[in-house]
């Protein structure tokens, strides 16, 4: 007896959106179902490496499309691994994917309605069948089992599932087509869709077609015969010579493996021969998938061994900071039964990874140098992810740093580190940067005053990851990369004049430090301020204030080391404070002013005053005294 089951809430919501919101590009439902059938055969071929009995009886791998125009029915059949009841409930009744909520949110905002092909990126391609069908029935039998199952739904929020007879393993997906989807039962339409989307499927995608053939012995007479015809070329693109493959074929294969609708930004196709042999076809996408920052994002190219797919996402073949790269790697040296555990300790995998990483970074460098517009577009999508390499890939740190782009105090646009070095002033010794949230806010920072006055360009680090990875860069092309909000900065001041000023204000500096002894590490003259009165700076190894704010926003407790209060020796305030100190070193005004200076410095670095109400009270008292003369 059939059991009626409610869809999980997210599936029901997704189905409502698929059925009611996606109107264009309905044809992709056939691509998704054929891809699912191909995956099922891939899985069985892999399982049969260790258990040959699973593939007994029918090793003629095939995906068959059966249109029935009279009954308005379309069937997609395969002889792959099949499903039992538990598999069907998990695969068809639940979406175990962290990106689903984001996907649904995007659909509701109409981002995906204009680009429904993205559904494949979220593992929900099966549900695209409801764009073309009122009712979907799945009859399946798992390899190695005797009984089959029947799953059925009208996309009404429920599905039924029951035991069913099926003479052989595999899966039949049966679609009862909508009135406006009759075109997908026509031979020429099916043929064109398979050619467009599934030509590179490794298994024959077949269909019975009527053909008029001459009657033997009767020259003018013809008879109609039903012949099974293969609709796809089944040519593994990555194994063909680059000279034989058109740009369109490269692009269509990318769309097939990535479920992306847009063309890739670039492709990398090469073969390595020698002690280790493999072929790779990799793609750099134009757009970042919705879920690329999710923890369980499926990274890595598909791994084939002698044309048999071993893994659809082999994360050991590329470093994490290149997880946006899609593609296929086919090795003739790896064993067919290699597992994920063995991959991690396999020397050949390390060689493959090293070569793939080298090729991708070379391609990115070529884009950067020869196609600026395309690289800028790529960097806008994947720049923060690429930066992770500074932290995780020490051996290629400088190579990765050379690919990075930054906005700067120079308003002419973004720059890279090599261009920055070429523009450095003759007396400039270091590469300077400041990190923070927005370009406009950083441009007004008091920490920049002397740098701007001297014409020293400062890089703006505006990505959240910058505070984590940039301090670890250390140097680039033998130039130290230095934050302008940390450490003592030598901007070529007159040392004799600086010592004279320090001696002149020594007593006042000591008095201010005494008042702020529990708040600051030291009070000293600043070489980075031109107009502002003061600022707080950390030691070279301290955490940037922007990083502290980010971590606190994430709910993490961050120990805050004491900072150094730097004062602008040329600001007239300190001339007046010096006079007051010399006449009354214990004046309460010195105490109040010291605390006001500290809180002003907190505000200037982007932090809150210690106690806003006390700070406001002191400010208002000063204003009253000023007005009273």
pLDDT averaged over every residue in the chain: 85
- The rounded distance, in Å, linking the Cα atoms of 111 and 130 is 20
Q: Mean pLDDT across the stretch 35-64?
A: 85
- The rounded distance, in Å, linking the Cα atoms of 468 and 391 is 8
Q: Which residue has the higher pLDDT, 423 or 545?
A: 423
Q: Are 451 and 528 in contact (CB under 8 A)?
A: yes
Closest CA to 451 of 408, 481, 415: 408
Closest CA to 181 of 30, 64, 78: 30
User: Would you say residue 22 has pLDDT above 80?
Assistant: no
User: Would you say residue 1 has pLDDT above 80?
Assistant: no
For 506, what's the count of Cα atoms within 13 Å in the CB-facing half-sphere?
Answer: 6
Rounded (5°) CA angle 30-199-263:
85
Q: Are 41 and 80 in contact (CB under 8 A)?
A: yes
The band of 559, judged by pLDDT with boundaries at 50, 70 and 90, is confident
Give pLDDT, residue 95: 54
Q: Are 396 and 389 in contact (CB under 8 A)?
A: yes
Name 424's Cβ contacts closer than 8 Å, sequence gap at least 6. Answer: 431, 456, 457, 479
The band of 256, judged by pLDDT with boundaries at 50, 70 and 90, is confident
What would the two tokens of residue 436 be? 């923070």
Q: Mean pLDDT across the stretch 552-569?
A: 81
User: Would you say residue 297 has pLDDT above 90?
Assistant: no
Q: What is the pLDDT of residues 312-327, one digit of tens each?
A: 888 999 999 999 999 9
Q: Are 45 and 135 in contact (CB under 8 A)?
A: no
Poorest-pLDDT segment among 37-51, 88-102, 345-359: 88-102
Poorest-pLDDT segment among 39-48, 140-149, 171-180, 275-284: 39-48
Percent of the chain surpassing pLDDT 90: 41
Give pLDDT, residue 341: 67
Instruction: Label the pairing between strands 218-230 and 148-153.
Output: unpaired
Poorest-pLDDT segment among 148-162, 184-198, 540-554: 540-554
Closest CA to 524 of 544, 510, 538: 510
User: Would you say residue 122 has pLDDT above 50?
Assistant: no
Q: Mean pLDDT across the stretch 119-143?
A: 79
User: Would you say residue 493 has pLDDT above 80?
Assistant: no
The band of 405, judged by pLDDT with boundaries at 50, 70 and 90, is very high
The band of 24, judged by pLDDT with boundaries at 50, 70 and 90, is low
User: Would you say residue 21 has pLDDT above 60?
Assistant: no
Q: What is the pLDDT of residues 427-479, one digit of tens each?
A: 888 999 998 878 888 888 889 999 998 889 999 998 888 888 888 888 999 99
SS3 label, residue 598: helix
Burial class (CB in 10 A: 0-12, 13-18, 19+), 494: exposed
User: Would you say residue 118 has pLDDT above 90?
Assistant: no
Q: Mean pLDDT across the stretch 231-255?
A: 88
Q: Mean pLDDT across the stretch 526-547?
A: 84
Q: What is the DSSP string of 227-286?
A: EEEE-S----GGGS-GGG--HHHHHHHHHHHH--SSPPSEEEEEEE-SSS-EEEEEEE-S
User: Would you say residue 114 has pLDDT above 50?
Assistant: no
What would the two tokens of residue 430 be? 């270091």
User: Would you say residue 116 has pLDDT above 50?
Assistant: no
Give pLDDT, residue 223: 81
Q: Are 90 and 227 in contact (CB under 8 A)?
A: no
Any idea of the CA torsion for 194, 197, 201, 206, to the nearest 10 degrees? -10
Q: Mean pLDDT across the stretch 239-268?
A: 89
Give me the domains of the chain, ranges plus CATH numbers: 3-225 (3.30.565.10), 237-370 (3.30.230.80), 405-484 (3.40.50.11260), 495-540+557-628 (1.20.120.790)
Give pLDDT, residue 60: 86
Percent of the chain surpassing pLDDT 70: 89
Give pLDDT, residue 113: 44
Any idea of the CA torsion for 451, 456, 457, 458, to the nearest 10 degrees? -40
Poorest-pLDDT segment among 15-24, 55-64, 515-524, 534-543: 15-24
Give pLDDT, residue 19: 63
Q: What is the pLDDT of residues 323-341, one digit of tens each?
A: 999 999 999 888 766 666 6
The CA radius of gyration of the chain, in Å to the nearest whole number, is 33
Q: Mean pLDDT across the stretch 520-532?
A: 90
The number of helix segments (H) and strand segments (E) in the chain equals 20, 23
pTM for this prediction: 0.68
Q: What is the pLDDT of residues 172-181, one digit of tens each?
A: 999 999 999 9
Closest CA to 387 of 282, 472, 264: 472
The band of 109, judged by pLDDT with boundaries at 50, 70 and 90, is low
Most confident of 24-38, 190-204, 416-430, 571-585: 416-430
Q: Mean pLDDT across the stretch 11-15?
A: 70
Closest CA to 440 of 468, 466, 462, 463: 462
The band of 149, judged by pLDDT with boundaries at 50, 70 and 90, is very high
User: Would you say residue 205 has pLDDT above 70?
Assistant: yes
What would the two tokens of residue 542 be? 């301290």
Q: Mean pLDDT across the stretch 241-268?
A: 89
The band of 399, judged by pLDDT with boundaries at 50, 70 and 90, is very high
């Amino acid at each position: 007896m059939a059991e009626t089951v409610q869809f999980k809430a997210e599936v029901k919501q997704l189905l409502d959106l698929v059925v009611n919101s996606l109107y264009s590009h309905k044809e992709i439902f056939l691509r998704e179902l054929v891809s699912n059938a191909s995956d099922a055969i891939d899985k069985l071929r892999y399982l049969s490496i260790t258990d040959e009995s699973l593939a007994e009886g029918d090793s003629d791998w095939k995906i068959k499309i059966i249109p029935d125009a009279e009954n308005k029915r379309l069937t997609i059949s395969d002889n792959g691994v099949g499903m039992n009841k538990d598999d069907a409930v998990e695969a068809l009744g639940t979406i175990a994917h962290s990106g689903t909520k984001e996907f649904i949110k995007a659909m509701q905002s109409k981002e995906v309605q204009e680009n429904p092909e993205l559904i494949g990126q979220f593992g929900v391609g099966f549900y695209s069948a409801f764009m073309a069908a009122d009712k979907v029935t799945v009859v399946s039998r798992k390899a190695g089992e005797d009984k089959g199952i029947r799953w059925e739904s009208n996309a009404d929020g429920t599905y039924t599932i029951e035991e069913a007879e099926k003479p052989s393993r595999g899966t039949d997906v049966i679609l009862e087509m909508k009135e406006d989807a009759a075109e997908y039962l026509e031979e020429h339409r099916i043929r064109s869709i398979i050619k467009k989307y599934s030509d590179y499927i490794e298994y024959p995608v077949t269909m019975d077609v009527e053909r008029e053939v001459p009657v033997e012995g009767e020259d003018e007479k013809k008879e109609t015969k039903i012949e099974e015809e293969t609709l796809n070329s089944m040519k593994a693109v990555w194994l063909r010579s680059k000279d034989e493959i058109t740009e369109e074929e490269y692009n269509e294969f990318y769309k097939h493996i990535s479920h992306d609708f847009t063309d890739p930004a670039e492709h990398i196709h090469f073969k390595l021969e020698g002690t280790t042999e493999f072929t790779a076809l990799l793609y750099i996408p134009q757009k970042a998938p919705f879920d690329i920052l999710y923890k369980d994002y499926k990274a890595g190219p598909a791994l084939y061994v002698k044309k048999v797919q071993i893994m659809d996402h082999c994360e050991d073949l590329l470093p994490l900071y290149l997880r946006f790269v899609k593609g296929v790697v086919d090795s003739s040296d790896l064993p067919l039964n290699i597992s994920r555990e063995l991959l991690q300790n396999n020397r050949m995998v390390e060689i493959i990874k090293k070569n793939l990483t080298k090729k991708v970074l070379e391609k990115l460098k070529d884009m950067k140098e020869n196609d600026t517009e395309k690289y800028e577009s790529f960097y806008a999508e994947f720049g923060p992810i690429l930066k992770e390499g500074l932290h995780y890939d020490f051996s290629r740190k400088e190579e990765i740093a050379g690919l990075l782009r930054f906005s700067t105090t120079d308003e002419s646009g973004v720059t890279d580190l090599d261009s920055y070095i070429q523009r450095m002033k003759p007396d400039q010794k270091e590469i300077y940067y400041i990190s923070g949230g927005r370009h406009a806010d950083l441009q007004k920072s008091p920490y920049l005053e002397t740098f701007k006055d001297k014409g020293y360009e400062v890089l703006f680090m505006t990505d959240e990851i910058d505070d984590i990875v940039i301090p670890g860069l250390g140097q680039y092309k033998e130039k130290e990369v230095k934050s302008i909000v940390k450490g003592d900065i030598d901007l070529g001041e007159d040392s004799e004049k600086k010592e004279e000023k320090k001696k002149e204000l020594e007593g006042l500096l000591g008095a201010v430090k005494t008042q702020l002894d529990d708040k600051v590490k030291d009070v000293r003259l600043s070489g980075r301020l031109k107009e502002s009165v003061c600022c707080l700076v950390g030691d070279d190894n301290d955490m940037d204030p922007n990083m502290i704010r980010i971590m606190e926003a994430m709910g993490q407790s961050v120990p805050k080391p004491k900072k150094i209060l730097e004062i602008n020796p040329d600001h007239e305030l300190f001339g007046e404070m010096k006079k007051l100190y010399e006449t009354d070193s214990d004046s309460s005004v010195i105490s109040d002013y010291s605390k006001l200076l500290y809180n002003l410095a907190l505000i200037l670095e982007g932090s809150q005053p210690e106690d806003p109400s006390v700070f406001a009270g002191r400010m208002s008292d000063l204003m009253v005294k000023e007005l009273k003369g």
